Amino acid sequence: MTYTLFDLTGKRALITGSSQGIGFALARGLADAGAQIVLNGRDEAKLAKAAASIPGATTLAFDVTSHDDVRNAVDGFEAAHGAIDILVNNAGMQHRAPLQDFPAEMFEKLLQTNIASAFHVGQAVARHMIARGYGRIINIASVQTLLARPGIAPYTATKGAVANLTKGMATDWAPHGLNCNAIAPGYFDTPLNAALVSDPEFSAWLAKRTPAGRWGKVEELQGACIFLASDAASFVNGHTLFVDGGITASL
């Protein structure tokens, strides 16, 4: 076995929602594997600060929920700078409320941010990848792709959709040389989970519920992302890889 299978030197990766949290950690991991990094978000100041800590990283600010904004940004970047070889659809949000009281406007916002964005950016980037006959798309799903908890039913719905969209991408685009897969993180210590991390009762429950007995560290997602972005995963397509400390394996 040769470790050059995991070498991403010469590849360019666009990671959405990557100024902090899981997206930023994945960007750093891909950079360590040799990829040139393009960070995305809407806050240009936060993006610039994040890019400063990744050698050679550039930024591309656009709203992932706007089809036209995405298309213009991706097409413009490709024309000016060249190929995007790897796409990580990471942008996402959470909102917690009992389902019977869940605000309709927040439901719509979750749909746009968590699932429509993967369609918008995936399609815009895939059109260029198809023309070149090569590409890697990695969508970020969740442990809620398979499981549910009270108060987050719409989030759970969007993450289930991410896994099935990933299968659809693979089915349509594998014939054109693209590999489309997903990573489903368990419970990780991120800004999105700040309210849960600071709740001693929830953290105690999580430690008992997860075979590994703890919160995940965002750096522990990097290996899965590098694998799916690399030649080591050349025959892996339409798969959702759970990185969850065993929570989906155990009752």
Q: What amino acid positions are annotated as catalytic residues?
A: 155
Which tokens sit at 91?
Answer: 């942008």
Which tokens sit at 11?
Answer: 């590849």
Strand intervals (E) in 90-236: 135-140, 178-185
Spatial neighbors of 175 by CB under 8 A, at least 6 apart, are none
Which tokens sit at 68?
Answer: 């036209």
First-to-last alpha carbon distance for the chain, in angstroms, is: 36
Q: Could you tell me if residue 15 is left (phi over 0), alpha (psi between -120 and 50 degrees) or otherwise beta?
A: beta
Query: Do 138 and 229 form a contact (C-beta atoms < 8 A)?
Result: yes
Spatial neighbors of 140 by CB under 8 A, at least 6 apart, are 22, 23, 88, 89, 90, 92, 162, 182, 183, 184, 185
